[in-house]
Amino acid sequence: MRAIEITEPGGPEVLAWHEVPEPRVERGDVLIDVAASAVNRADVLQRNGFYDPPPGTPPYPGLEVSGVVAEVGADVEQFKVGDEVCALLAGGGYAERVAVPWQQVLPVPDGVPLKVAAGLPEAACTVWSNVFMVGRLRRGETLLVHGGASGVGTFAVQLAKALGSHVVATVGTAEKAEQVRRLGADEVVNYREEDFAEKVKADVILDIMGARYLAGNVRALLTGGRLVIIGMQGGRKAELDIGALLAKRAAVHGTTLRARPVEEKGVIVRSVVDNVWPLVAAGAVRPVVYAEVPMSEAAEAHRMLDSGQHVGKILLVR
* CB hemisphere CA count around 2 (13 angstroms): 10
Cβ closest to ligand NAP, residue 171 vs residue 317: 171
Indicate whether 103 belongs to the interface with ligand NAP (CB under 6 A): no
Indicate whether 151 belongs to the interface with ligand NAP (CB under 6 A): yes
Minimal distance in Å, beta carbon 232 to ligand NAP? 7
Candidates 66, 103, 150, 158; binder of ligand NAP (CB under 6 A) is 150
Indicate whether 42 belongs to the interface with ligand NAP (CB under 6 A): yes
Minimal distance in Å, beta carbon 152 to ligand NAP? 4
- Rounded CA-CA distance 202/225 in Å is 7
Task: Tell me which stretch binds ligand NAP (CB under 6 A): 78-86, 214-222, 252-260, 292-300.
Answer: 252-260
- Rounded CA-CA distance 166/142 in Å is 5
Start-to-end Cα distance in the chain: 13
Choose among 67, 157, 73, 150: nearest CA to 106: 67
- Rounded CA-CA distance 192/25 in Å is 48
Indicate whether 191 belongs to the interface with ligand NAP (CB under 6 A): yes
CA dihedral 175, 181, 187, 192 (to 10 degrees): -20
Indicate whether 101 belongs to the interface with ligand NAP (CB under 6 A): no
Spatial contact of 86 and 69, defined as CB atoms under 8 Å apart: no
Spatial contact of 164 and 147, defined as CB atoms under 8 Å apart: no
Q: CA angle 144-259-308, nearest 5°?
A: 45
Indicate whether 147 belongs to the interface with ligand NAP (CB under 6 A): yes
Indicate whether 272 belongs to the interface with ligand NAP (CB under 6 A): no
Indicate whether 100 belongs to the interface with ligand NAP (CB under 6 A): no
Count of chain residues binding ligand NAP (CB under 6 A): 27
Minimal distance in Å, beta carbon 203 to ligand NAP? 19
Cβ closest to ligand NAP, residue 75 vs residue 264: 264
CA dihedral 200, 194, 170, 188 (to 10 degrees): 70
Cβ closest to ligand NAP, residue 146 vs residue 161: 146
- Rounded CA-CA distance 288/160 in Å is 15
Minimal distance in Å, beta carbon 210 to ligand NAP? 8
Minimal distance in Å, beta carbon 156 to ligand NAP? 9
Residues that bind ligand NAP (CB under 6 A): 40-42, 122, 126, 146-147, 149-153, 170-172, 176, 191, 208-209, 230-231, 233, 255-257, 305, 308
